């Protein structure tokens, strides 16, 4: 099967890990890896892998023949440059501009859109768990808490904090119609902790809430294994892109 050409904007840790995952894909080919900083470690790493790179940001992406564009920058930058025409955009930021997508819940619908939002790392791991809860229709409130290591919270994560909290809570309301609150904790513990998640669900006419707790560990491709919060959003991005590639290569 012919590979579908993709481009990545954002050469930080998330973008670089995403690049490695795409290079492993049998369906995707990265034709441009673009950022703004010439001294970016991600740019240097990509060059070492013979990947076409640029520091012209979105300009290089638009000049390329990439059919799919991944945005691994920030909510602020995404709102500045997108939407764009004639490309399938996968937004890894919490800008909440595209159709909210959690593959296990609405992948088919998302593939019909021109831009999908992957919401947040918390949403990607918690919404499938929430969907599997019995008697969810009787829930009246949901609270989700994500704890990550401080060393896995880069500039982008910290800059996007307000958008993350708002977008994650909003996604629960969108998919399940239940009021929700999102809490995000950055833990400076050493050694670094894995991503830890807690879901608290309060039911109508029931005193005992349901509490679900679980950890997420990453693949360790470019990111560390304890950076599961960043790894999960990249895995999801590749899953959506590969589904799009399959649909459009028939």
Cα four-point dihedral sign 224, 230, 233, 237 = negative
Residues 165 and 211 in one domain: yes
Residue 74 predicted with pLDDT over 90: no
Residues 59 and 111 in one domain: yes
Q: Which domain holds residue 91?
A: 4-119+230-248
Give the residue numbers marked as catalytic: 121
pLDDT at 250: 55
Q: What's the rounded mean pLDDT across residues 226-234?
A: 93
Residues 205 and 130 in one domain: yes
Residues 135 and 195 in one domain: yes
Whether residue 154 is annotated as binding a ligand: the answer is yes
Burial class (CB in 10 A: 0-12, 13-18, 19+), 55: middle
Residues 50 and 8 in one domain: yes
pLDDT at 80: 86
- Supply the mean pLDDT for the chain: 93
Contact 6, 241 (CB under 8 A): yes
Residue 236, CA distances (Å) to 15, 22, 138, 186 in order = 13, 12, 29, 22
Q: What's the rounded mean pLDDT across residues 224-237?
A: 94
Residues 11 and 112 in one domain: yes
Q: How far apart are the first and last CA of the chain?
A: 9
Residues 80 and 144 in one domain: no
Whether residue 157 is annotated as binding a ligand: the answer is yes
pTM surpassing 0.85?
yes
CATH of the domain at 110: 3.40.50.720
Residues 88 and 36 in one domain: yes
Contact 180, 142 (CB under 8 A): yes
In 3D space, the residue among 221, 92, 217, 214 whose CA is nearest the CA of residue 157 turns out to be 92
Residue 225, CA distances (Å) to 135, 148, 165, 196, 218 in order = 34, 12, 24, 13, 4
pLDDT band at 155 (very low <50, low <70, confident <90, very high): confident
Whether residue 158 is annotated as binding a ligand: the answer is yes
Cα four-point dihedral sign 119, 106, 90, 49 = positive
Residues 115 and 8 in one domain: yes
Of residues 164 and 30, more confidence is placed in 30
pLDDT at 177: 97
Strand partners, 68: 6, 88
Whether residue 155 is annotated as binding a ligand: the answer is yes
DSSP character string of 12-66: SHHHHHHHHHHHH-SSEEEEEEE-S-TT-HHHHHHHHTT--EESSTHHHHHHS--
CATH of the domain at 145: 3.30.360.10
Whole-angstrom Cα distance, residue 97 to residue 43?
27
Whole-angstrom Cα distance, residue 101 to residue 94?
12
pLDDT band at 83 (very low <50, low <70, confident <90, very high): confident
Whether residue 10 is annotated as binding a ligand: the answer is no
Residues 75 and 196 in one domain: no
Residues 8 and 113 in one domain: yes
Q: Which of 162-166, 180-184, 209-213 has the lowest mean pLDDT?
A: 162-166
Whether residue 160 is annotated as binding a ligand: the answer is yes
Q: Which two tokens stand for residue 178?
A: 């239940």
Domains held by the chain: number: 2
Residues 129 and 203 in one domain: yes
pLDDT at 245: 96
Q: Residue length, the chain? A: 250
pLDDT at 160: 75
């Amino acid at each position: 099967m012919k590979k579908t050409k993709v481009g990545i904007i954002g050469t930080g840790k998330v973008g670089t890990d995403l690049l490695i995952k795409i290079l492993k894909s049998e369906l995707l080919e990265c034709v441009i890896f673009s950022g703004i900083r010439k001294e970016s470690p991600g740019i240097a790493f990509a060059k070492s892998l013979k990947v076409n790179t640029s520091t012209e940001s979105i300009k290089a992406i638009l000049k390329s023949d990439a059919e799919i564009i991944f945005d691994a920058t920030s909510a602020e930058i995404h709102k500045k440059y997108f939407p764009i025409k004639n490309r399938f955009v996968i937004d890894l930021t919490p800008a909440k501009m595209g159709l909210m997508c959690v593959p296990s819940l609405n992948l088919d619908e998302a593939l019909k859109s021109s831009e999908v939002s992957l919401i947040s790392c918390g949403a990607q791991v918690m919404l499938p768990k929430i969907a599997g809860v019995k008697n969810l229709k009787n829930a009246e409130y949901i609270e989700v808490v994500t704890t990550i290591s401080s060393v896995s919270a880069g500039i982008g994560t910290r800059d996007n904090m307000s958008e993350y909290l708002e977008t994650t809570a909003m996604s629960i309301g969108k998919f399940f119609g239940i009021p929700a609150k999102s809490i995000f904790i950055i833990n400076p513990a050493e050694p670094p902790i894995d991503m830890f998640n807690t879901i608290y669900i309060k039911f109508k006419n029931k005193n005992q809430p349901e509490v679900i707790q679980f950890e997420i560990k990453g693949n360790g491709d470019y990111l560390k294994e304890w950076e599961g919060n960043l790894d999960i959003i990249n895995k999801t991005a590749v899953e959506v892109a590969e589904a799009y590639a399959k649909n459009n290569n028939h």
